[in-house]
Amino acid sequence: MSDLQPPFRADHVGSLLRPQPIHEARKAGVTGLELKEIEDREIPGLIKMQENVGLKAVTDGEARRAFWHYDFMDALTGLDLERREGGIGFSATTAIPVTPVVRERFDFPDNHPMLEHFAFVRDHTDVVPKISIPGPSACHFRVLPEDIHVPEYRENPEAMFADLAATYAKATRAFYDIGCRYLQMDDIFFAYLCDPKHRAAKKEAGQDPDWLIDQYAWMLNEAIKDRPSDMLIGMHMCRGNFKSTFAATGGYDQAADAIFNKTDVDIYFMEYDTERAGGLEPLKLLPKGKKRVLPGFITTKTGDLESMDDLKRHFDEAAKYADLDQLGIAPQCGFASTEEGNSVTYDDQARKLELVVKTAEAIWGEV
């Protein structure tokens, strides 16, 4: 294990473009041990690429997943994925037509496959291994009320939230026990609940979006509050990322207090690459201390490379609301939240990550 200690000034959200052999194998329907052998051959190259650009925390690029959250959710006790017509709506397309269904009470199984996924990264890097998993809110936000088949959950959503919190607390401990000291939870639905259309949809379903924000914050905090002191928790928020499209719009204003002050999160990855993310004013609610925000001024949705001068100006603006010493930099999202990946090249991806590192060195003198 590395002696390096997060948080770092330069970091990234987690997902990377799938290596071509993995992409082709999955497209051809290869599964099981045969697919795992291909993944095991290709993922060390992904890890090495991250190390080569100068990053101090690395992931497996989520290369073993089809979708950033559904693979993790499907392996939980109590939740299954069903293939149906339609799919998740994005700005210019729809994603894979699967729907999560809750059939029994939630639990985190001892053999959850992503424990093994983390262990592989741990054993193949000399820097800090990190894994990104969906936050507990994903298991509620993505489930339609009619697809909740546990009577207690249908009658009392807080019972569902309590079980999810306990499930994620168990997951947090399980990752710690196999050496994970840097766990990231992608809890993007805080940002979705700041979008007028998503807020209206929840209201139509009989759910108060502001109440949900507080409940989601409670769940996340319950899941991580008892972690050992040497384990750091990251949290990523964005507005959707599928083939370079998006699914939500709006600033962080309604959720900022819950995000910063009602969760014991250490590191916040926040999308800030377009006006869709709103202004930087919510950063003023970041409490003084050790918490760190990594504004995503570098986009993963296009290959256009941001200029260092523009990035420095963005940080000058951000420093009006939060202490510069509590800031760092990461891309706005992953490069491949699904196996299809964004509309960027492998070279674009490497250049973007190199820019993250160079920007950290230019502004803070460290990575």
CATH number at residue 266: 3.20.20.210
Which pLDDT belongs to residue 160?
A: 98
Residue 263 belongs to some domain of the structure: yes
Residue 11 counted as domain residue: no
**Residue 49 C-alpha from the chain's centroid:** 20
42: which 2 tokens? 């290709």
How are beta strands 182-186 and 267-271 bridged, if at all?
unpaired
Q: How far apart are the first and last CA of the chain?
A: 19
By residue range, what is the domain housing residue 217?
A: 20-364
What confidence score (pLDDT) does residue 211 get?
A: 97
Domain-embedded: residue 13: no
C-alpha to C-alpha distance for 187 and 216, rounded to whole angstroms: 9
CB-based contacts of 83: which residues, under 8 Å, 6+ apart?
97, 98, 99
pLDDT of residue 93: 45
Token output for 316: 């000058």
Residue 2, pLDDT score = 65
- 8: in domain: no
* Average pLDDT, consecutive stretches of 10 residues, N- to C-terminus, the chain (367 residues): 87 96 94 97 98 98 94 96 65 63 97 98 98 96 93 96 98 98 95 91 92 97 98 91 66 95 98 89 97 97 96 98 98 91 93 98 98
3-class state of residue 309 by DSSP: helix
CA torsion, ordered 315, 321, 322, 323, to nearest 10 deg: 80
Whole-number Å distance between alpha carbons of 367 and 365: 7
pLDDT for position 89:
46
pLDDT of residue 288: 97
Residue 9 falls within a domain, yes or no?
no
Assess if residue 7 is contained within a domain: no
Number of domains, the chain: 1
Q: Per the structure block, which two tokens stand in for 120?
A: 């592989």
**Does 81 reside within a domain?**
yes
Task: Tell me 331's DSSP state.
Answer: B
pLDDT at position 86 is: 57
Beta pairing partners, 118: none
Residue 24 belongs to a domain: yes
Query: What is the model's pLDDT at position 92?
Result: 44
3-state DSSP assignment of residue 296: strand
State residue 243's pLDDT score: 61
∠ CA 71-74-80, nearest 5°, is 145
Contact by Cβ (8 Å): 357, 57: no
